[in-house]
Amino acid sequence: MSSEIILEVTNLAVEFATYGGSVQAVRDVSFNLHKGTTLAIVGESGCGKSVTVQTLLGLIPMPPGRITAGSARLRGAELLGLSADRLNHYRGKRIGMIFQDAMSAMNPTMTIGDQIAETLIVHMGMSAAAARQEVITLLTQVQIPEPERRLRQYPFEFSGGMLQRAMIALSIACQPEVLIADEPTTALDVTIQAQILQLLESLQQSRGLSIILITHDLGVVARMAHEVAVMYAGQIVEQGSVDDIFYRSAHPYTVGLKAAMPGRSAHKSVLQEIPGSPPDLFAPPAGCGFNARCPHVMQLCTSQAPPLFGTSHQARCWLQHAAAPAQALYQQLIASVRS
Amino acid sequence: MLNYILKRLGMGVLTVWFIATATFAAMHLVPGNPLANEKATNAVIRANLERQYGLDQPVLTQYVIYMGNMLKGDFGIAFSEENRSVNDIIRETFPVSATLGLLSLLFATAGGVMWGALTAIYRNRWPDYLIMFLVILGISVPSFVFAGLSQFAILHLNKWTGVSLLPVAGWGSFRAMLVPALVLGLSTMAYLTRLMRSTMLDVANTDYIRTAHAKGLSTTRIFLHHQLRNAILPVITVLGPSIAIITTGGFVVESVFAIPGLGRYFVQSVAQLDYTVIMGTTVFFGAFLVLMVIAVDILYGFIDPRIRVEASR
Amino acid sequence: MNPYAPKAGDFTPVARQPGLITNPRPSQSYWQDAWLRLKQNKRALLSLYLIVALVLMTLVGPWLWQQDPAYQDLDLISQPPAYGETALVVADPGIWAGVSVDPPTLITVDSNATSSLAATAQIQTVGSASTQYVRLRWEPVAGAGFYLVYRNDHAPESSEDLGLPLGQTLTAAEVSFEDRLQLRAQDYWYTVLASNGLQEAPGFTTVRIPVQRSITESQAQDRKLHANAGDTVTLRSHPFGTDSLGRDLLARIIEGSQVSLFIGIVAPFLWVLLGTVYGGISGYFGGTIDAAMMRVTDFLIALPFLLFMILFRIGFGIGPGESGIVPMLLALVLLRWEDTARLVRGQVLQIREEAFVQAARLLGAQPLYLIFRHMIPNTIGPLLVNLTFSIPMAIFTEAFLSFIGMGVAPPTPSWGSMSNEGLKSMLSSPHELLFPAIFISLTVLTFNLLGDGLRDALDSRMRSRE
């Protein structure tokens, strides 16, 4: 694994002002993205994973959104707090982005070709004709058949999978270093999912792309990711290499997520759920955000928020404290083996 | 596309038939059949009417005669004037109404799109508040009040400047058209501004605008190439109803400003109980509006690729 | 970060507290939430209060403002708004003989006369100048054949600017003039010019005369004010002024509100009811029935609505100048329900397919239960919004029809017909148009704002972005 850090996010915090009060959607999030690797951010709906990456590109409406702390550096250059004009030098050009629902993420009244060509014209200063040629090349690269005909079509004439390919073509058009894929396969059926993931993998290899992959699907993580950050209630609760996360899970939430993953074997016919629901981010509870759902909750967890323990493999759980009883760790180990 | 147009036209013909029948029914089936009573004093007119409408025949025969005339594009003859057909009246007065209506539709759409876009850009800042206040006023104040007030204003403006800048009433010059067209288009403009504002804000919150931002396009480019275009589409769909509103609004504005259009003539016919003119004009207006709605639909079909492509399959 | 130093008992396991698992915020019912949202919308709330005030005005207004809306005070025609005005009671004017002088020596009228006439001097009032009459007399001018009298509401700047020509004397012997022409309580500038038949005096003198509001003794008796000449009486107040027949505008607006609000509120209620039933049936049964029923609404929507409103009236045999409130109501209901029908149908069709209704059906729910438990509660919000937005439409229609003389006809006032009358005299007395217009606009405005507020509060799908 290359150790060159492309994108470095430290202590990011984002909140939203709503009519019921302010929501702390992202709290103290830090991660590094290394060149040519994939970082997966995993978590259930509403845990703040999308907000985190959209904040990097200034895609969060402000107000109501507000960055309260933190920094994000692309090769050392700060992204947060840039004016829209300055940010436009990064958006689409050095950082590409793919969204979950390609059908709604594409302008319905503009042809696919025009939408892709637009970035080329704006960022690369291409002529319309040159941009058109490039669009054909790009569409070919993402394996869309008959690109000359397809580029004249509108989004509603595309199938979901084809549209996601077009979306990928759009995001990589200007040869970005970083690609942010926000649940790129969630809206697609399984065979198409596999094709899209394969496409992303091959693009990563051929272009040396660094990818931030947002998903709630651990299967996708297992297949794509080099590193994983597990998010819960606006915080990263566990972070490490994909092996760390899968084989040496250190946080009860990660263990729960794994248990909830549908397995291939037939004997696990009933999916295990994590009881309860995420805490109310209007007023985060005292102590650990997971305490109400955690099978190993201790006295300390209800009063004191845990810090991140560990160095390369980190977990935000009191069980990782040196003084925590081994018995709890043992229970957890049992739990992870059972899953 | 041709199929789509034909289908719309077919429905249109059916609708016009329904309007004509409803008009006929309103005049014949309710108590006190106005055509049958003896209000037409003039013997010549009386004879003409009987010939034209077959008044001595049973109702069903009258209906057949009436529909036959309509099919030939003959809207009947006037009740109160000798030797004057409704077609003549329409030919004389409708171009005036159409000019006025077109001008005010132009005012309304151009103004609505512009003001609506402005409010969306300046959302929740003072230009937005100001325009939306005026919009609420435009929606709430009846057109005859605006007509009266504008006459009052013109009069005082002319008095103050000492020159006749704008005529208080009448028709003929472009200057005379200006204020009536503006007054006529005002409520539609207010309505379109509101619509435009809400669609602009809807579009601004869509995923594809977020994509456009993620592509690194400038705000201006996103506004012009992505937001405006998608926001105008719903505005086009309500142009049909807007034309209907402007047409009937024309009755008042033409009456107040003494503009010799079909609307004013219609109001006068109503006052004189010129039944045949009322019938003929109603069917004519009905057919005109149906045609306009279809025209707008077809125009929309050409503009929105989703419909254009679907229709051409 | 300093590593945390644990205390004793920190790592004791605790039981999971099920109470913490559920969402800690209290959940609110749909209507509680809607009311909360509406209360936060200041404009909508203010509109709601105004609507209540308008309805109250209609209901109890006639008791609070006890003036007869039909009473015509021909002495107070088109008076601007006034409150608590007093007037001097003067003797009935009778016939004034005027003032005459001995006929001056006749000067032969010379067509080439170079000597010009002098300006009239010493114009003065005879008796007190009141709104009943202003009596003038002046010194004779040598060589005059007769005199011309002008009145202006400002000091004339030139002989071109003398104002309204009131009249002329018949002879040179008459050196007086009585002005009884629509006098108001204000200052007037009178000018008298001598003329010899060929030319008028080039110079002029003007006299400024303050005119006092007054009524005659017999008028005072008519109004049941027991007063004699010289007394000061308080006149009946007209806070909105009077119309062109001297009727109190406020009383007429209150009476007119009964017609305008009756049609404006009752008609939408009826058509929303009709549309709900129609749309509900259409949506509930679906299929061919639905298709056929919806075709009818397609046709209705295509009808030129206002023209058919007029046609309906004529069909009912009601001519212009005749009132037809009930036919107007009927026509409105019959021509306007299709919008609601479409809304309800769409809503019902959509709810029918919702998972919770399917589930209820699978559990054996009866149609009536489905309708009352699921369909109606889920439709009532949009319906309420639809009703609120229908009211301005009905009020506008009434105003429009009355305005072109096809609605409510005199003597019954409605805001629309009052506007129509007001428009005729708008240039001289704008208040006659302004007050009914303000009431129409205010009503429409408040219902529109309330509708906006209700939509925002009740229906998240239709929520406008503010």
Please list the pLDDT of chain A residue by residue as tens digits (339 residues).
457 888 899 898 898 887 667 888 888 888 889 888 999 999 888 788 888 888 988 888 877 888 888 888 888 888 888 888 888 888 888 899 998 888 889 998 889 999 999 999 988 888 889 999 999 999 988 888 898 999 889 998 888 888 988 998 998 888 888 999 988 888 778 888 888 888 888 888 888 889 999 988 888 888 888 999 999 888 888 888 888 888 888 888 888 888 777 765 555 556 677 777 777 777 777 778 887 787 777 777 878 888 888 788 888 888 877 777 665 555 555 555 555
Residues in C closer than 8 angstroms to B266, CB to CB, are 307
Note whether A298 and C10 are within 8 A (CB): yes
Q: Are residues C144 and C211 in the same domain?
A: yes
Residue C239 within any structural domain of the chain: no
Angle at A184 between CA A179 and CA A189, to 5 degrees: 155
Q: How far is CA B117 from CA B80, B111, B219, in A?
A: 50, 10, 14
Residue A149 token pair = 């005909």
DSSP percent split of chain A into helix, strand, coil, nearest 5: 35, 25, 40
Q: Going from the N-terminus, what domains does chain A have, and what CATH number goes with each?
A: 1-94+176-264 (3.40.50.300), 107-173 (no CATH)
> Which chains lie within 8 Å of chain A at 3 or more CB pairs, if any?
B, C
B225 touches chain A (CB under 8 A): yes
- For A110-163, give the DSSP string: S-HHHHHHHHHHHHH---HHHHHHHHHHHHHHTT-SSHHHHTTS-GGGS-HHHH
Residue C422 within any structural domain of the chain: yes
Among A85, A97, A101, select the one facing B214 at the smallest CB separation.
A97
User: How many other C-beta atoms lie within 10 A of the C-beta of residue C190?
Assistant: 25
Distance of alpha carbon A312 from the chain centroid: 19
Note whether B147 and B183 are within 8 A (CB): yes
Q: Are residues C254 and C157 in the same domain?
A: no
Among C303, C392, C422, select the one facing B19 at the smallest CB separation.
C303
pLDDT digits (tens, 9 = 90+) for A95-150: 999 988 888 899 988 899 999 999 999 888 888 899 999 999 999 888 888 989 99
Q: What is the dotted CATH code of the domain comprising B92-270?
A: 1.10.3720.10
Q: Who has greater pLDDT, A62 or B206?
A: B206
pLDDT digits (tens, 9 = 90+) for B227-246: 988 888 888 888 888 888 88
Q: Judge: A99–B225 Cβ closer than 8 Å, yes or no.
A: no
Residue C2 pLDDT greater than 70, yes or no: no
| Alpha carbons B299 and B311: distance in angstroms, whole number | 13
Note whether C111 and C197 are within 8 A (CB): no
Residue C13 within any structural domain of the chain: no
CA proximity to B281, closest of B309, B262, B259: B262
- Can you tell me which residue has the tokens 């629902």? A101
DSSP bridge partners of A235: A232
How many residues are listed for chain B in this entry?
313
Average pLDDT rounded to a whole number, residues B150-176 = 79
Average pLDDT rounded to a whole number, residues B207-225 = 89
CA proximity to B83, closest of B45, B52, B50: B45
Q: Are residues C376 and C425 in the same domain?
A: yes
Which residue is closest to C321 within chain B, CA to CA?
B271
Distance of residue A27 Cα from the nearest chain B Cα, in angstroms: 23
**Helix H or strand E encompassing A253:** helix A252-259
Domain count of chain C? 2
| Alpha carbons A216 and C39: distance in angstroms, whole number | 40
| Alpha carbons C420 and C406: distance in angstroms, whole number | 11
Residue B108 pLDDT greater than 90, yes or no: yes
Residue C299 token pair = 């046709």
Q: What is the pLDDT of residue B115?
A: 93
DSSP state of C192: E
Q: Judge: C307–B285 Cβ closer than 8 Å, yes or no.
A: yes
pLDDT digits (tens, 9 = 90+) for C90-142: 777 777 777 777 665 555 555 555 556 777 777 878 877 777 788 888 888 87
Domain range for C207: 89-216
Q: Are residues C444 and C313 in the same domain?
A: yes
Q: How far is CA C371 from CA B312, C110, C269, C285, C349, in A?
A: 41, 102, 20, 12, 12
pLDDT digits (tens, 9 = 90+) for C314-326: 777 666 666 678 8
Q: Judge: A328–C25 Cβ closer than 8 Å, yes or no.
A: no
For residue C153, the domain's CATH number is 2.60.40.10
| Alpha carbons C254 and A263: distance in angstroms, whole number | 76
Q: Are residues C412 and C296 in the same domain?
A: yes
Q: What is the pLDDT of residue C112?
A: 52
Q: What is the pLDDT of residue C465?
A: 40
Radius of gyration of chain C (CA): 36
Angle, helices C431-458 vs B126-140, to 10°: value is 120
For residue C398, the domain's CATH number is 1.10.3720.10
Among A99, A109, A154, select the one facing B211 at the smallest CB separation.
A99
CA proximity to A169, closest of A87, A96, A88: A96
- Sign, CA torsion B81/B87/B92/B96: positive
Average pLDDT rounded to a whole number, residues C68-73 = 74
| Alpha carbons C258 and C58: distance in angstroms, whole number | 6
Among C6, C16, C21, select the one facing A323 at the smallest CB separation.
C6
Q: What is the mean pLDDT of chain B?
A: 83
Q: Band of the pLDDT at C187, cuts 50, 70, 90?
A: confident
| Alpha carbons B125 and B119: distance in angstroms, whole number | 8
User: Which residues have CB under 8 Å from C378's CB, separation 6+?
Assistant: C347, C351
Note whether C46 and C196 are within 8 A (CB): no
Q: Judge: A107–B226 Cβ closer than 8 Å, yes or no.
A: yes
Residues in A closer than 8 angstroms to B216, CB to CB, are 87-93, 119, 122-123
| Alpha carbons C273 and C276: distance in angstroms, whole number | 5
Q: What is the pLDDT of residue B112?
A: 93
Residue C1 pLDDT greater than 50, yes or no: no
Q: Judge: C11–A283 Cβ closer than 8 Å, yes or no.
A: no
Q: In what order do the strands lie in the sheet with A314-315?
A: A95-98, A178-182, A210-215, A38-42, A227-232, A235-241, A314-315
Q: Judge: B27–C311 Cβ closer than 8 Å, yes or no.
A: yes
> Which chains lie within 8 Å of chain C at 3 or more CB pairs, if any?
A, B
Among C298, C315, C419, select the one facing B144 at the smallest CB separation.
C419
Q: Judge: B252–C304 Cβ closer than 8 Å, yes or no.
A: no
Residue C364 pLDDT greater than 80, yes or no: yes
Residue A327 token pair = 């018995």
Q: Are residues C250 and C186 in the same domain?
A: no
Q: Are residues C168 and C300 in the same domain?
A: no
Q: Are residues C64 and C94 in the same domain?
A: no
Q: Who has greater pLDDT, B47 or C434?
A: C434
Q: Are residues C209 and C328 in the same domain?
A: no
